[in-house]
């Protein structure tokens, strides 16, 4: 997914990733796509999002002077079909140069989430509709980043905070970008971490539990020729603590007394640690004769949950006249199931417990950990009537399908995503 699909706001991080590596928000910073409400903090930022912009600079009229600041606002409506989850997101960005070497960036996000989501329980006998639970939530988040240019090296440090009624996340990041070979080669290195507090209701002695994550990225962007750039990023991340989703259940039929069987819902129990890795590669090429540019990318993901995922994406940017750019894109994502994913536990020897425990067996019926295929296609139109003003409209369609032949299709969402953005520079 992100991989390719959404994660509801009150759930723990899934294996799905946004289009810009490892959970950095796709939005005002230049990446289009679904609003992905994973648990986020500052994380290392990939370079590849800059490449198309650099290519298109050669196709666009040059402003008379470099902008010293930017203010932007975007609104995104993410709506799953069949009454599933809907998210309304407002995001504001302020970037300002501070003298010749420093730059400050501040982002504020407000998410309103409502709708229905699968509980993890299987569909009742004779039905293919999995049970749904109604959710309502409100998320407020902000992040700030200060960067300084030292000759060939740019160093940036960031802090982020996100709050919901049952979740608090605080994170940090440190990134460096170094230019070599007359600025034809850029090397990225970044580290990040976040500490979260998660509210649960299984242990009255410990209502809030912790979750911790650390990640690192190393990346290389190479200008191959005047029209082509190549990017390669490698990312590693480690999550520890309470990684289960307190709102998801698994079901098992148990014999409470001899001859009497009952179907009971138990809370899911994921491992208390996860290591994951991402390899991302992209090629961007300008076609001046066509007044366009093409970006093709591939992402490989693997983790200690047993999930392996592959994502392919292609995007074409076409200049129309002197002020418009039309950009269709297509993304294909497939992933295998986590080793502990089960539609229900009836066919397993697992004995679940009412209180999740890292020392017990792992099990989850969360469809996001199943084997699935996701397809996202979209179109955005940007208009730059002045050097200092840019307006963008975007539409994306997201479709997810299960591949295990067991989990009903009703567990997997389809969604429409609309967004609008205004950006002013000075």
β-strand partners of 292: 287, 318
> Would you state the pLDDT for residue 38?
34
Host H or E run for residue 56? helix 48-57
pLDDT tens digits, 394-405: 999 999 999 999
Query: What Rg do the C-alpha atoms of the chain give, in angstroms?
Result: 22
> Would you state the pLDDT for residue 259?
82
What's the CA gap between 10 and 358, in Å, rounded? 21
> Would you state the pLDDT for residue 258?
84
> Would you state the pLDDT for residue 13?
32
pLDDT tens digits, 63-117: 444 569 999 999 999 999 999 999 999 999 999 999 999 999 999 999 999 999 9
Q: Does the domain formed by 48-425 have CATH 3.40.50.2300? A: no
What's the CA gap between 146 and 96, in Å, rounded? 10
> Would you state the pLDDT for residue 62?
40
> Would you state the pLDDT for residue 359?
85
Tokens standing for residue 309:
């995922």
Q: 10 Å Cβ neighbour count for 48?
A: 26
pTM here is 0.85
What is the length of the chain? 426
| CB-facing half-sphere around the CA of 363: CA atoms within 13 A | 27
What's the CA gap between 36 and 398, in Å, rounded? 12
pLDDT tens over the chain, length 426 residues: 333 333 222 333 333 333 332 333 334 543 333 223 333 333 334 433 334 444 444 444 444 445 699 999 999 999 999 999 999 999 999 999 999 999 999 999 999 999 999 999 999 999 999 999 999 999 999 999 999 999 999 999 999 999 999 999 999 999 999 999 999 999 999 999 999 999 988 877 788 999 999 999 999 999 999 999 999 999 999 999 999 999 999 999 998 888 888 999 999 999 999 999 999 999 999 999 999 999 999 999 999 999 999 999 999 999 999 999 999 999 999 999 999 999 999 999 999 998 888 888 999 999 999 999 999 999 999 999 999 999 999 999 999 999 999 999 999 999 999 999 999 999
| CB-facing half-sphere around the CA of 45: CA atoms within 13 A | 23
Tokens standing for residue 377:
């296609």
Cα angle 252, 257, 262 (rounded to 5 degrees) comes to 30
What's the CA gap between 340 and 360, in Å, rounded? 12
> Would you state the pLDDT for residue 7?
29
């Amino acid at each position: 997914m992100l991989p390719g699909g959404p994660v509801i706001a009150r759930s723990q991080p899934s294996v799905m990733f946004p289009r810009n590596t490892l959970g950095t928000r796709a939005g005002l910073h230049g990446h289009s796509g679904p609003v992905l409400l994973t648990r986020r903090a500052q994380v290392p930022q990939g370079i590849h999002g800059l490449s198309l912009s650099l290519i298109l600079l050669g196709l666009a009229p040059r402003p008379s002077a470099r902008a010293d600041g930017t203010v932007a606002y975007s609104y995104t409506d993410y709506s799953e079909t069949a009454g599933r989850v809907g998210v309304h997101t407002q995001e504001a960005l302020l970037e300002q140069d501070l003298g010749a070497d420093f730059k400050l960036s501040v982002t504020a996000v407000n998410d309103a989430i409502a709708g229905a989501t699968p509980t993890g329980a299987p569909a009742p006998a004779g039905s293919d509709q999995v049970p749904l639970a109604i959710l309502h939530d409100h998320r407020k988040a902000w992040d700030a980043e200060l960067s300084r240019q030292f000759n060939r090296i740019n160093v940036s440090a960031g802090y982020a905070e996100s709050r919901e009624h049952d979740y608090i996340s605080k994170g940090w990041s440190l990134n460096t970008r170094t230019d070599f070979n007359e600025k034809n080669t850029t090397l990225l290195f970044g580290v990040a971490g976040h500490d979260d507090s998660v509210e649960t209701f299984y242990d009255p002695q410990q209502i809030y539990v912790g979750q911790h994550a650390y990640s690192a990225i190393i990346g290389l962007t190479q200008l191959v020729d005047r029209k082509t750039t190549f990017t390669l990023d490698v990312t590693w991340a480690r999550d520890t603590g309470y990684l289960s989703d307190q709102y998801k259940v698994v079901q098992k039929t148990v014999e409470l007394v001899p001859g009497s069987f009952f179907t009971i819902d138990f809370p899911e129990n994921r491992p208390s640690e996860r290591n994951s890795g991402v390899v991302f590669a992209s090629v961007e090429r300008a076609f001046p004769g066509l007044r366009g540019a093409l970006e093709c990318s591939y992402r490989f993901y693997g983790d200690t949950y047993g999930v392996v995922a592959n994502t392919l994406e292609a995007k074409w940017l076409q200049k129309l006249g002197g002020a418009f750019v039309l950009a269709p894109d297509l993304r294909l994502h497939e992933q295998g199931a986590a080793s502990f994913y089960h539609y229900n536990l009836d066919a397993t020897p697992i004995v679940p417990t009412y209180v999740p425990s890292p020392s017990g067996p792992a099990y989850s019926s969360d469809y996001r950990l199943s084997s699935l295929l996701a397809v996202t296609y979209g179109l955005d139109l940007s208009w730059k009537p002045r050097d200092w003003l840019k307006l963008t409209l975007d539409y994306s369609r997201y479709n997810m399908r299960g591949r295990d032949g067991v989990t009903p299709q009703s567990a997997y969402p389809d969604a429409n995503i609309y967004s609008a953005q205004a950006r002013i520079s000075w």
